[in-house]
Amino acid sequence: MSNSVTNFEISNILPGKKPCQGKNNESQVVQTTPIKKRSVTFKNQSSLGVIDHYARLTNQSHSSVIAEVVDLAIPILEKCNRHNWSINEIKNDLLKFSIKESINRSRGKTEVTLEEYCSLIWKTNIMSPLKIPIADYFQLNANDEFMGKDEKTVIRERLSSLRGNYDMEKAIYIYNQRHFNVKHQSVSGYSNIILIHRTTFEGYYFDAGQALLLSTSQLITFGINEVLRRKGIVMPYPVVCWIDIYHINEMVVMLPVLRKTDVSNRVNAPDDIIINPYSQESRT
């Protein structure tokens, strides 16, 4: 998609009056039509292409087409002006429609599963687009298999600082690599941090505190419910669906989604979550 910028000027005729001199130098007032111009900038070249095509089909100028589109949008803008308090609800409705339309276009079908819907909500409205790769080195009380107290403390302090700086609700730290040096009794590795700027949308709650690291092959073979049963994992609330939020090696981080009305039944979890695929204590 091109990022070129195109400018247009739109003129709208507004009724008005101005004084003028008559034939006998008498002062008269006549109706005038002053022109008020507005500049429009297009950053999305595909939008400009649609306007150009419509202009050719209807034998109109670009400015006329843009003015026509603006006229069609005016009732919506007037409604927003009259009901300023409901703008957020309107935006959420538009986002919900956009999410469903995106799924429909990608699948070519009208059916939308709850997993698909919640997964797209996660990507567009829950998870922050910020990507934070980290290279770490820990030496104090490091351990080969289990994460030491100092290692966890440093990570949680970093996550807490990031949440404060970016105004986020929660943060998830996930190790991509973790190596233990026996000689130096130290741990080094690479990780990614997922920031979550909100946990609820459209009556659904995305419980990052109960995210689970599970085997991809087992999920494919048995499905999420059977995997949980075999591991003896019982959720403290009814889960409407599970979504995958991160993949590493042959593991996948699965996050439960519940209805907002069931939030009171969930187990309180810290805002800073650490997931270590290289330890028996996968989530801390």
Co-location of 58 and 131 in the same domain: no
Residue 111 lies inside a defined structural domain of this protein: no
pTM (two decimals)? 0.60
CA-wise closest residue to 202 among 98, 130, 128, 131: 98
Residue 87 lies inside a defined structural domain of this protein: no
205-230 confidence digits (pLDDT tens): 999 999 999 999 999 999 999 999 99
Residue 173 lies inside a defined structural domain of this protein: yes
Query: Domain ends where: 50, 82, 114?
Result: 82
Question: Tell me, what DSSP letter sits at residue 43?
Answer: -
Q: Long-range CB contacts (< 8 A, 24+ apart) of 27-35?
A: 35/11
162-197 confidence digits (pLDDT tens): 999 999 999 999 998 888 877 777 788 889 999 999
Query: Domain ends where: 66, 82, 98?
Result: 82
Are 146 and 281 in contact by the 8 Å Cβ rule? The answer is yes
What is the average per-residue pLDDT within 222-247?
95
Containing 188, the helix (H) or strand (E) segment is strand 186-196
Q: How many domains in the chain? A: 2
Please report, rounded to a whole number, the percentage of residues in the chain having pLDDT higher than 90. Answer: 37
So what's the pLDDT on residue 272?
A: 95
Co-location of 199 and 71 in the same domain: no
DSSP-derived secondary structure for 66-98 = HHHHHHHHHHHHHHHHHTGGGHHHHHHHHHHHH
Co-location of 249 and 146 in the same domain: yes
Query: Domain ends where: 29, 53, 82?
Result: 82
Co-location of 158 and 270 in the same domain: yes
CA-wise closest residue to 141 among 98, 180, 93, 83: 180
Distance between start and end Cα atoms, the chain: 42
Co-location of 135 and 33 in the same domain: no
Residue 1 lies inside a defined structural domain of this protein: no
Co-location of 75 and 132 in the same domain: no
Domain that holds residue 136: 126-275
Co-location of 141 and 236 in the same domain: yes
Q: Is the pLDDT of residue 23 over 70?
A: no
Residue 283 lies inside a defined structural domain of this protein: no
Q: Is the pLDDT of residue 29 over 60?
A: no
Residue 41 lies inside a defined structural domain of this protein: yes
Residue 222 lies inside a defined structural domain of this protein: yes
